[in-house]
Structure 1
Amino acid sequence: MTSYFSDYADLCFEAFGDRVKHWITFSDPRAMVEKGYETGRHAPGLKLHGTGMYKAAHHIIKAHAQAWHSYRKKWRNKQQGLVGISLNCDWGEPVDINNPRDVEAAERYLQFCLGWFANPIYAGDYPEVMKDHIGRKSEEQGLDMSRLPEFSLQEKSYIKGTSDFLGLGHFTTRYITERNYPSRQGPSYQNDRDLIELIDPNWPDLGSNWLYSVPWGFRRLLNFAQTQYGNPPIYVTENGASQKEHCTQLCDEWRIQYLKGYINEMLKEPLLSHMHMVSEIVVPTVCTLCTLIAALLLMLLLRSQS
């Protein structure tokens, strides 16, 4: 399938590459594999709990890398385009930021969501927390090997660095706490994470049972992606609010407020920009001031001695 996808990508590059300069190989692959191979709600409608979605994701990541390499070798010099991937993820905030277990659970939530696909592309392999949790649970379930597939050393090297930009889709936020009781269900993506998702009842309800307006979570996710993956160029590829209520006239003030809140959070100064400002402006300025003060003190000392 990875070779078939590479052939399809090459056809698209050849046909449209003179006009298209930004390519997204896959959009929201996590939802694709979860609904296609875990819950069966989308095509191909399979319910291979705890196994199918990991295998499908494994091949998606390899297919993405193969398409990226194909563009770099055959088309980039002539077309001057960029190839990336688009990943959707909600922000996970610890219920209690002073509780290490909640903090670890929130980190695990993000790694099972965004890191699942981004970590191989930017670091060469799945997040350690995914490998540890799924490997341990597979062993407890009497399996000889982890339900999470492994990349060979050659595949890790081939996949790492295969993104010119990160597409990021984001809609809402969840509070996360550790699940402190064993699940009675069998293998599944949800059980592998060992966490509980909660919402704040004060968050604005936008009509859909999963969607709440939490703009501050967007900024935190952007900062997380920026610091986690080496400050890549980020394009926000998905965001918005679904229809809250049926009406015949213009009645979407709530949607305006949602978009305004999220866009304002996006426009705030990124965390790394502050770090760059510290390193590029503040540090040299402080060093210069220290030098001037030292010179002044030396002049005063010499004057007093004379």
Structure 2
Amino acid sequence: MVNYFNEFANLCFERFGNRVKYWITFNNPWAHAKVWHTYDTKWRGKQKGLVGISLSGDWGEPVDISNQKDIEAAERYVQFYMGWFATPIFHGDYPQVMKDFIGRKSAQQGLGTSRLPTFSSQEKSYVKGTCDFLGIGHFTTRYITQKNYQSGRGSSSYFTDRDLAELVDPRWPDPGSEWLYAVPWGFRRLLNFVKAQYKNPMIYVTENGVSEKIMCTELCDDWRIQYYKDYTNEMLKDPLTSHMEMVTEVVVPTVCTLCILLSAVFLMFLLRRHN
């Protein structure tokens, strides 16, 4: 199948490459590197185009930011999601956490080898670096907490391998679809994760949007307008590290609130003493 797809892509490069300069091999992929090499060796010099890939990725935020297990579970959520495909392309191999967890689960099942395939040295070098830009499809966010799943024959899957549970905040805006909550700050954190993990690649947002909340007989798009506005504003903010984001978005408001409350209590104490 890889060879068939490569032949199809090569025909597209030949017929349309004089006009098309940005190519996405897959939107949510299952084969990619061979086509990048075909373009790189046969067409790039003449056509001066770029070949990338589009990966879906939701953000995972720890339920408890002071709990190391939740922090690690949130990291696994993103690595098992976007990292599954992005890390081999940028670093040459699957995320280490995927290799560790799936390897351990496979051993608990009594399997002799991991259910996660192993790259040969040749495959690692062949796949690594096959991305001129990264397309990102992003829609929503989940809170993540640690949850242990028991492994047994026939019971393990991609979802149980991760040892985590996904939660949503009831205060998040009601979705038009049951899985899609508007969480704009998660988009920014995902972009910062990609910037840090993959050495600041060129990014194109290839998918983003939201379903309408109610049935309409006339134009009523306020929900969608607000969604796009909020997500675009998060994308336009200056990049920060995750730690600094947490300081500005969580710690600072909390400290300010505590200062206001303490000031109010102190003022009441002074007024009572004065009276």
After TM superposition, the score normalised by the length of structure 2 is 0.85
The 3-state SS of whatever aligns with 2:130 is coil
Give unmatched runs, 5+ long, in structure 2.
Answer: 242-275
Alignment: residue pair count: 241
| Partner Cα distance (1:180, 1:2) in 2 | 36
Matched, 1:81 2:34: no
* Structure 1 match to 2:190: 221
* Structure 2 match to 1:281: none
* Structure 2 match to 1:254: 223
* Structure 1 match to 2:172: 203
Deviation at residue 207 of structure 1 after TM alignment: 1.8
* Structure 1 match to 2:261: none
Matched, 1:142 2:120: no
Does the Cα contact within 8 Å between 2:212 and 2:223 map onto a contact in 1?
no
| Partner Cα distance (1:183, 1:242) in 2 | 37
* Structure 2 match to 1:36: none
Matched, 1:114 2:82: yes
1:123-157: per-residue Cα shift (whole Å, max 9, x none)? 00000000111111111111111111111100100
The 3-state SS of whatever aligns with 2:142 is strand
Matched, 1:70 2:26: no
Deviation at residue 243 of structure 1 after TM alignment: 2.4
- The partner residue of 1:92 within 39, 47, 60 is 60
- 1:229 is aligned with what amino acid? Y
Deviation at residue 270 of structure 1 after TM alignment: 2.1
Deviation at residue 183 of structure 1 after TM alignment: 6.3
| Partner Cα distance (2:60, 2:86) in 1 | 16
| Partner Cα distance (1:3, 1:183) in 2 | 36
- 1:2 is aligned with what amino acid? V
Does the Cα contact within 8 Å between 2:28 and 2:54 map onto a contact in 1?
yes
- 1:239 is aligned with what amino acid? N
* Structure 1 match to 2:141: 173
- 1:25 is aligned with what amino acid? T
* Structure 2 match to 1:293: none
| Partner Cα distance (2:151, 2:216) in 1 | 43
Deviation at residue 15 of structure 1 after TM alignment: 1.0
- 2:118 is aligned with what amino acid? E
| Partner Cα distance (2:176, 2:199) in 1 | 36
What is the percent sequence identity of the aligned residues? 69
Which 4+ stretches in 1 moved above 2 angstroms? 180-185
* Structure 2 match to 1:163: 131
The 3-state SS of whatever aligns with 1:212 is coil
The 3-state SS of whatever aligns with 1:271 is coil
- 2:42 is aligned with what amino acid? K
Deviation at residue 247 of structure 1 after TM alignment: 0.7
- 1:250 is aligned with what amino acid? L
1:204-230: per-residue Cα shift (whole Å, max 9, x none)? 012211000000000000000011001
1:168-199: per-residue Cα shift (whole Å, max 9, x none)? 01000000000045367702110011100000
| Partner Cα distance (2:214, 2:28) in 1 | 26
| Partner Cα distance (2:48, 2:24) in 1 | 15
* Structure 2 match to 1:20: 20
1:53-81: per-residue Cα shift (whole Å, max 9, x none)? xxxx4xx2xxx111001101000011110
* Structure 1 match to 2:238: 269
- The partner residue of 2:209 within 208, 229, 240 is 240
Change (3 A) 1:154 1:173: same
| Partner Cα distance (1:180, 1:8) in 2 | 44
Deviates more, 1:1-10 or 1:162-171: 1-10
Change (3 A) 1:82 1:177: same
The 3-state SS of whatever aligns with 1:236 is strand
